[in-house]
Structure 1
Amino acid sequence: MMNGMYSRSRSRKRPSLTDHLYRPFDFGAGNFPCVYGGVLRPLPIPSSGAGACTAGELSNGGHNSHHDFLEAKALAASRNHSEAERRRRERINAHLSTLKRLLPTANKMDKATLLAEVIHHVKELKKRAAEVAKGGPIPTDCDELSVESDGDDEKGRTFIRASVCCDDRPDLLVDLIRAFQNLRLKTIKAEISTLGGRVKNVFLVTSEEEINCGKEETQSINCVQEALREVLDRSALSEFSSMGSSVSNKRQRILLFDSCSSYNAI
C-alpha cells in the first residue's frame, strides 16, 4: 500500500518554470500578469482605494500632459514675440533720437512731424547740392573728357568748352596749357577744382584764327579732343610708372635688408 501511494506521488508531475511562463491567464476578472519569483503570475488590479486607476483616468492624464506641452510652447512663442517687438521699438526710438540730434529745430516733435521734417530737410539738401554742382566743377572717380562747341560772339569767334577729369599730378595743368597752345587756341576762362586727389579742369578756349561753322568747327573739336586724350594717356602712364618705381624701391629696400641680415649673421 505504501508502495502504491509512493508510486502515485511519483507519477504526479511537478510543474516546471516553462508551464508557468506559458500558462494562459484569465484577464477578464481584473487580473494582470506579473513576474514574481522568476515565474509569470497574475496580479490583481485593485478595484478601489488609493491605488485604483481606471483606463479613463490614464487617458485623461496623457491628454492633460499634451495640453500642458502645447500651452508651454504657446507661452514661449508669445514671450519671444514680445521680446522681438521690444527690441524693434528700441531700435526705432534710437533712430528717431539720432534724427532729432541732426535737425536743428526738432526738440519737441512727435514721430510723424519729425519724419515730415526730415523729408523736407533731405529735399533741401539735394536742392543745394544740385546748385553747387551747377556752380562749379566737381571731380568724379572716373576719368572724363568732354569737348564741345560753346557758341560764338559778335566778332565771329567760335568758343570751345573742354573738360578734363583725372588724377591730379604736378605737371598736369602745364601739359593742358601746352596742348592748347600747340593748337593755336587761346584760353578765355579756366575752372579748376580738386577733391581727394582728383582734379577737374574746365577750359573755355577760342581760336586765334577765324573758324567757319560746320566742317572746320568739327575738325577743331576733334583736334582738341585728340590732344587732350594724349594728356590723359600721359597721366595714366605717369601714374603707372610711379607705382612701378615705388615697387622697385621697395624691392631694393628688401634686398638691402636681406643682405644686411646675412652680413650680421656672418
Structure 2
Amino acid sequence: MNEKIKNFADSISPLIFLDFLFESRKNLTRLIIYFVISLGLIITVFFMQLSYSDSSRAGVINAFFIIICTSSALIGGTYSAASITSEKEKKTLTLLRMSGISGVQIIIGKIVSGFIYMLALSLPYLVLTLLLTLFGDFNFFRLAGGLFMWAGFTFFYLAAGVLISVLFKKNASANSFFYFSMFTLHFLISLLDEWFYRPLYDYSSYKFFTNLSPIDVWVNFSSSHLYGSTYYGNDGISSLFNGTVPDYAVITLLYILFSIILTLFAANIFEKYLRWRED
C-alpha cells in the first residue's frame, strides 16, 4: 500500500511542480506586489490588534478566514477551471499522455497544484490569524475550525473547477460556467427552500438548502465564535449530532465528501476522453 502511494506521488510530482512553476512565473510581478502589500497589512493589523479586546481579535480572525475562503472561490476556481482547457488549447494533452500519466493522476495533480498555489496565496493571512490567536485569548477550536473550513472549501472549488474544465474546450466557456454555477450555489440556492417548503404552514422555519450555501456556512462560523455560542440557523443541521458539532463543521465535511465524488467523476470522464482521443 505504501509503495503504491509512493509511486503515485512520484508520478504526479513533476506535473505539480511544473504547474506551480508556470503559474508563479506567469504572475511573478503581481505575486511580488501581493506579498509586499500582504506583509505590510500583517504588520499593521497585528500591532493594532494587540491593544484590542479578545472579542475584537476574534472578529478580525473570523473576517480573515472568510476573506481567504472567498479568495479560494475566485482565484482557486478560476485557476482550476482553466487547468484542463489550457492543456486542450495548447495541445499538450498528448505529451502528458505519452509521459505515462493516467487521467486520474492528471486530475489529482491539477487539484493538488491548485491547492498548493492557494496555500501560498493564503499563507500571509493564515500566519496573521495564527499570530492573533497565539498573542490573544488562544482558542484552538476556533483556529482548527477555520483551517478546516478553508481547506474543505478550497478543495471543493478546485474539484468543481477541474470537473468543469474537463467538460469544456475553451477557458472562457469553462470560467463563465464556473462563475455562473458558483453564483447560483452561493446566492440562489435559498430559493429551493421557498419552492419545497412554501406549501408548509411554518415554512419559514425550514432552511435546509440555505444552510448549504457557503455564505451561510461562513456566517455560521463567524457567529459561533464571535458570540461565544454556536449559531445553528433556523433549522440547524448540527441538530443531527445533538448540537455537539457546529453547522459549519458538518456542512464543510459534506462539501469535502462531495468534492471527492466530483474528483472521481472528473477523473472517470477525463480518462474516457483521453482514450477517445487515442482511438
TM-score range, shorter chain: under 0.3
Compare relative contact order (CA 8 Å, sep 6+) and give the higher one, 1 or 2: 2
Structure that is richer in strand per residue: 1
Structure that is richer in helix per residue: 2
Give the structure-1-normalised TM-score.
0.27
Give the structure-2-normalised TM-score.
0.26
